[in-house]
């Protein structure tokens, strides 16, 4: 079971999450993964930035706020017996955090490596608090850092990759004996370490990934992600009023959706679970009676429905490389992607018409300028590319469902629904998996496009609102 930041936002919520574990623990062996308390990771990042800039006063202020948050929370969880030990532990970590921040402030330097040391303090603190909360309700448990749980990564700080085989082996070695004693390991999500022991992080939102890794390693029956929404939804409920929870989706569909209700999920989180075919359940810790969404191998088309969900990704732009000289010229696409890649710019969507006179790439809005400059330097004046254009206010609409595969007419329905809303489509791509049709509209048209598709495919009636666990 993994608990996200909102499920740990204060003592009351932590206690509630602990009771969820209690409720399922008599009949199951449970390993717990926690992320940092709500917003703590962002605040740590801010503290790092302030310290680096030499803003000593502001740094101190924010740091004190964070230290007090954890101390005060610790004071209201646990019982008398465990509280002393917990408060000692929190103070110790608070001191270590302070030293780290001082170090950054002195050097005025925040490297990817020191940032990876700084950010997981949130998880390191919350594991101890959660462990105490479990102990207070008579559940034997102990906290572990990512490294202590056996997760070893490469040294790509900020976005480190787990070394799967080594990690799996170590995780089993560390967790199996704890679970066999019927103790509950509480593991700090998001963090790991290199072979030589430097702390790394798995990328923002990485505690989902931790849960998936641990589940895969120990051969869990299911991986449960406790969050603050009822599960994966047919659309963002802030955009579509009758958005409904999806009871079942396949790993592929979940990957394509990459959105939890309104929230983004770690892009690689599902990979370990999918590889070992371990079902992942997304559940709401605020409404634990609901079953949530089950992500599994099974492809259910849900009463013949071809489209299951529609999501929207804001904050992107389009960069278009064009020129009649590109027609039939081999290697242009390679050059485009190589240029973007070597500038560290991630491409989300690609399209090229069969005339070959233009290639369009979707990149993050904040990267558009850099992409254009990089491409100008690399491509202009060589005879084939004439123009490099950009559009900055765009959003991606992704229509997802495994039933779309091989079903004729889906694209027609998608685009006529958009036309009905008088929304202009700027770019289209469909992966050959046919699980997903993605297109670009202007940012302001995005919500209307989502609503149009939701209506056309009547996604709101695909509801699981009545499914509850007794």
* Residues near ligand ASP (CB under 6 A): 5, 35-36, 41, 122, 189-190, 204-208
Alpha-carbon gap, residue 285 to 415, rounded angstroms: 37
Instruction: From the list Mg ion, ligand ASP, none, pick the one residue 220 interacts with, judged by a Cβ distance below 5 to 8 Å according to partner type.
Output: none
Q: Which is nearer to ligand ASP, 226 or 439 (CB)?
A: 226
Q: Which residue number is nearest to Mg ion in terms of Cβ?
A: 5
Straight-line distance from the first to the last Cα atom of the chain, in angstroms, rounded to the nearest whole number: 19
Residue span binding Mg ion (CB under 5 A) among the ranges 4-12, 51-59, 210-218, 295-303? 4-12
| CB of 190 vs ligand ASP, minimal distance in Å | 4
| CB of 233 vs Mg ion, minimal distance in Å | 18
Instruction: From the list Mg ion, ligand ASP, none, pick the one residue 190 interacts with, judged by a Cβ distance below 5 to 8 Å according to partner type.
Output: ligand ASP
Residue choice 1, 2, 3, 5 for contact with Mg ion (CB under 5 A): 5
**DSSP code for 380:** B
- The candidate with the shortest Cα–Cα distance to 70, out of 134, 140, 152, 8, is 8
Instruction: From the list ligand ASP, Mg ion, none, pick the one residue 457 interacts with, judged by a Cβ distance below 5 to 8 Å according to partner type.
Output: none
127-165: string of b/e by CB count within 10 Å (b at 16+)? bbbbbbbbbbeebebbbbbbbbbbbbbeeebebbebbee
Q: Which is nearer to ligand ASP, 210 or 436 (CB)?
A: 210
| CB of 35 vs Mg ion, minimal distance in Å | 5
Strand order in the sheet with 436-442: 347-352, 358-364, 309-322, 387-400, 436-442, 427-430
| CB of 355 vs ligand ASP, minimal distance in Å | 43
Instruction: From the list Mg ion, ligand ASP, none, pick the one residue 206 interacts with, judged by a Cβ distance below 5 to 8 Å according to partner type.
Output: ligand ASP
3-state helix, strand, coil split of the chain in percent (to 5) is 45, 20, 35
Residue span binding Mg ion (CB under 5 A) among the ranges 35-43, 44-52, 218-226, 413-421? 35-43
Q: Which is nearer to Mg ion, 35 or 293 (CB)?
A: 35
Contact call for residues 360 and 318 (beta carbons, < 8 A): yes
Q: Which is nearer to ligand ASP, 11 or 45 (CB)?
A: 45
| CB of 44 vs ligand ASP, minimal distance in Å | 9
Contact call for residues 406 and 435 (beta carbons, < 8 A): no
Contact call for residues 137 and 177 (beta carbons, < 8 A): no
Number of residues that bind Mg ion (CB under 5 A): 2
| CB of 196 vs ligand ASP, minimal distance in Å | 23
Here the tokens at position 437 are 């049709």
| CB of 124 vs ligand ASP, minimal distance in Å | 11
Instruction: From the list Mg ion, ligand ASP, none, pick the one residue 305 interacts with, judged by a Cβ distance below 5 to 8 Å according to partner type.
Output: none
- The number of beta carbons lying within 10 Å of the beta carbon of residue 275 is 12
Beta strands in 6-52 (DSSP E): 32-34
Residue span binding Mg ion (CB under 5 A) among the ranges 31-39, 83-91, 357-365, 459-467? 31-39
Q: Which is nearer to ligand ASP, 34 or 372 (CB)?
A: 34
Residue span binding Mg ion (CB under 5 A) among the ranges 1-9, 131-139, 149-157, 158-166? 1-9
Maximum Cα interatomic distance, the chain, rounded to a whole number of Å: 77
**Which residue is listed with tokens 């995780």?**
171
| CB of 316 vs ligand ASP, minimal distance in Å | 21
| 54 CB-contact burial (10 Å; exposed 0-12 / middle 13-18 / buried 19+) | exposed
Q: Which is nearer to ligand ASP, 36 or 69 (CB)?
A: 36
Q: Which is nearer to ligand ASP, 231 or 401 (CB)?
A: 231
How many CA within 13 A on the CB side of residue 284?
19
Contact call for residues 176 and 134 (beta carbons, < 8 A): no
Residue choice 6, 17, 35, 402 for contact with Mg ion (CB under 5 A): 35
Q: Which is nearer to Mg ion, 5 or 401 (CB)?
A: 5
DSSP for 320-346, written as a single string: EEE-GGGTT-TTHHHHHHHHHHHTTPP
User: What radius of gyration do the chain's Cα atoms show?
Assistant: 24
Instruction: From the list Mg ion, ligand ASP, none, pick the one residue 302 interacts with, judged by a Cβ distance below 5 to 8 Å according to partner type.
Output: none
Q: What is the contact surface with Mg ion in residues (CB under 5 A)?
A: 5, 35
């Amino acid at each position: 079971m993994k608990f996200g930041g909102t499920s740990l936002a204060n003592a009351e919520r932590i206690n509630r999450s602990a009771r969820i574990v209690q409720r399922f623990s008599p009949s199951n062996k449970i390993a717990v993964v926690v992320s940092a308390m709500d917003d703590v990771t962002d605040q740590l990042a801010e503290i790092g930035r302030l310290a680096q800039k030499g803003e000593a006063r502001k740094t101190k202020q924010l740091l004190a706020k964070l230290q007090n948050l954890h101390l005060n929370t610790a004071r209201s969880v646990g019982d008398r017996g465990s509280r002393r030990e917990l408060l000692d532990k929190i103070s110790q970590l608070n001191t270590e955090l302070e030293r780290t921040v001082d170090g950054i402030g002195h050097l005025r330097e925040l490297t990817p490596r020191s940032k990876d040391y700084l950010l997981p303090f949130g998880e390191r603190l919350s594991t101890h608090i959660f462990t105490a909360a479990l102990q207070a309700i008579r559940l034997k448990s102990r906290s572990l850092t990512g490294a202590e749980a056996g997760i070893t990564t490469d040294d790509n700080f900020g976005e480190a990759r787990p070394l799967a085989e080594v990690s799996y082996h170590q995780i089993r070695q560390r967790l199996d004996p704890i679970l066999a004693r019927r103790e509950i390991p509480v593991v700090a999500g998001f963090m790991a370490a290199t072979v030589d022991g430097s702390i790394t992080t798995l990328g923002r939102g990485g505690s989902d990934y931790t849960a998936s890794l641990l589940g895969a390693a120990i051969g869990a029956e299911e991986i449960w992600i406790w969050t603050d929404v009822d599960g994966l939804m047919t659309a963002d409920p802030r955009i579509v009023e009758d958005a409904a929870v999806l009871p079942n989706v396949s790993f592929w569909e979940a990957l394509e959706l990459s959105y939890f209700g309104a929230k983004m999920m770690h892009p690689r989180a599902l990979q370990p679970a999918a590889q070992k075919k371990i079902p992942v359940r997304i559940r709401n810790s605020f409404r634990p009676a609901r079953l949530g969404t089950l992500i599994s191998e099974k492809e259910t088309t849900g009463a013949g429905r071809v489209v299951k969900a529609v999501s929207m990704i804001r904050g992107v732009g389009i960069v278009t490389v064009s020129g009649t000289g590109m027609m039939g010229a081999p290697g242009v696409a390679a050059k485009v992607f190589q240029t973007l890649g070597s500038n560290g710019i991630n491409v989300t969507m690609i399209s090229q018409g069969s005339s070959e006179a233009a290639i369009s790439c979707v990149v993050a809005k904040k990267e558009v300028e850099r992409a254009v400059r990089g491409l100008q330097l690399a491509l202009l004046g060589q005879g084939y590319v004439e123009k490099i254009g950009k559009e900055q206010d765009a959003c991606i609409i992704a229509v997802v469902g495994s039933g779309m595969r091989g079903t004729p007419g889906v694209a027609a329905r998608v685009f006529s629904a958009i036309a009905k809303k008088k929304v202009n489509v700027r770019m289209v791509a469909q992966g050959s998996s046919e699980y997903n049709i993605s297109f670009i509209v202007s940012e302001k048209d995005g919500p209307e496009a989502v609503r149009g598709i939701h209506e056309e495919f009547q996604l709101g009636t695909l509801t699981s609102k009545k499914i509850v666990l007794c």
